Homo-oligomer: A and B are copies of this chain.
Amino acid sequence: MTYCIGMLVREGLVMMADTRTNAGVDNISTYRKLRLYGNDGKRLIAVASAGSLSTTQGAIQRVTKGLAHPETGKYENWGTFQSIYDAAIAAGRALRQVRDSMQDLAQAGVNFDATLLVGGSINGEPSRLFLVYSAGNTIECAADTPYLQIGELKYGKPILDRALHYDTPLNAAVKLGLLSFDSTMRANLAVGLPIDLMVAEAGAGQARTNIRIEESDDYYLELSQLWQQKLAKATDELPLPSY
């Protein structure tokens, strides 16, 4: 399992992914699921992945090697896309190709589904964020609900629904994202630290922050403890029912 969040607020883009993969609870590994391409000031493409590791790795490899555009026939890769939209659509094609190539195994009950978040900015365009489904189709993040999730998304959704807005500052969005991860990691062992984090200002072709938050991260530990205390206090303070 996996949990990834992309948040697109007025100030910019935040993307986060855990690093745990598992094939059963007795086969757990750490894999990077958030990758940056470009990140050179001109182009920033951030890709987070959830689902079958073989499918997401296969799809990302295909785009890295170059994928023929279905109309022009021209080969495109992470270094040549002219917009984040183009990158998302191409990643969708790659995902679909890998999935289709596994069709015979899928019929035997093996699940090769996978989803991606593709966000960033190319040549100064406004930052954009897309969710790419297994079938290759995409949806775009918009201001009314300024986040997208993939993977084990339900446990950590309520806090985002309640607290994240388009006008939330970037570092407050990072804080909310970590609270969302905290709830998820408590509920599902298949989502775990470390968490990869990318923060980019709106329209930026380079990430402001590109770090891995480890188990020993002081801020995360403090946040997690304080949040538990504050939630306990808040629930205690609420009035009791008469029934």
Contacts and interface: CB of A to CB of B under 8 A. Distances in A.
B155 A240 contact: no
Contacts of A241: 171, 174-175, 178, 219, 223
Interface in A199-243: 199, 209, 211, 213, 219, 222-223, 226-228, 230-235, 237-243
Which residue, of A178, A197, A238, has the highest number of chain B Cβ atoms within 10 A?
Answer: A238
Contacts of A65: none
Chain A contact surface mostly: helix
B155 A231 contact: no
A161 interface: yes
B240 A171 contact: yes
Interface of A: 154-155, 157-159, 161-163, 171-172, 174-176, 178-179, 183, 186-187, 197, 199, 209, 211, 213, 219, 222-223, 226-228, 230-235, 237-243
